Amino acid sequence: MRIVFFGTPEFAATSLLAIVDAGFEVVCVVTAVDKPAGRGQKISESAVKKAAMDLGIPILLPPNLKSPTFIESLRSYQADLGVVIAFRMLPEVVWSMPAMGTMNLHGSLLPNYRGAAPIHHVIIQGETTTGVTTFFLKHEIDTGDIVSSREIAIGENETVGELHDRMKHIGAQLMVDTLGLISQGKWHTTPQSNLLDIKFAPKLDREFCELSISMCILDFHNKLRGLSPLPGAWMKTPYGELKLIKGRIVAKDTQNANVGFEISNKRLIIHLTDGDYEILTLQPSGKPKMMAKDFLNGLKK
């Protein structure tokens, strides 16, 4: 079974390595073009490209997925199956090219949390379980027939970064298991249900990532950890705009009924309407992240 693999970040690279390690034939990798990154704007290669180079797999870096040159190059690999993980939307001419179609690994239990940021949104919404799903692509995004899925418990204080790092390995194993079923002809698909109350996971923007003093404490905690470490929840404070990286719910100060910010015993406390929240790690605008106590020590008296 000849596989062409589409992906860009570390989440996808973990699956690529697992697929090859399991003995499947990846004949070509398609990933993002090299681009400047970081403060020095040095040219950066994607995690998938680096993995493919280490594995000696041919690489295609198309700036345009509809380019005739790219389409012909891709067709020359005569793939039986496409596998796409954490990559941009593929045009039909690409995902329909492999003889068996193209399969995706999605970071939720479909049909819920379709969209670009499922791992973030399950935490933001306070879910206690999530999962990974393999399914075949069709026209509407994240709606194709499901091959397999695996449920994952979410810790009550787990951040999106921590959940991501667990899911990339669980997802890689699910993809390997799914490919095993397909190669043995033991697989079948299940159409996704079209529930009226399906939850979605749209792309995150700066406005969405803002925290408010008017939020209830549980929503505040879930949103902070659901955006940590990236892209990061942020908030306007008396000490400037801060990105809040880590915090915890603490006992309510019954002597202080006011809503707002307080520095108490070198601790940064946010008094919300129904509870108190301590910020442990933060990042001031234009500065590196730091412990809250170090930030407070640096404030002008």
For residues 264 and 123, membership in a common domain is answered with no
202 within some domain: no
Res 36 pLDDT > 70: no
Q: How do residues 112-158 score in pLDDT, each as one tens digit? A: 999 999 999 999 999 999 999 999 999 899 999 999 999 999 999 99
Structural domain including 240 reads 217-297
206 within some domain: no
pLDDT at 48: 97
Q: Tell me what the mean pLDDT of segment 281-298 comes to.
A: 94
199 within some domain: no
**What is the phi/psi pair of residue 75, to 5°?**
-60, -30
pTM recorded for the entire structure: 0.93
| Average pLDDT of the residues of the chain | 94
For residues 167 and 84, membership in a common domain is answered with yes
Q: How do residues 149-194 score in pLDDT, each as one tens digit? A: 999 999 999 999 999 999 999 999 999 999 999 999 888 999 998 7
For residues 136 and 93, membership in a common domain is answered with yes
For residues 48 and 177, membership in a common domain is answered with yes
259 within some domain: yes
171 within some domain: yes
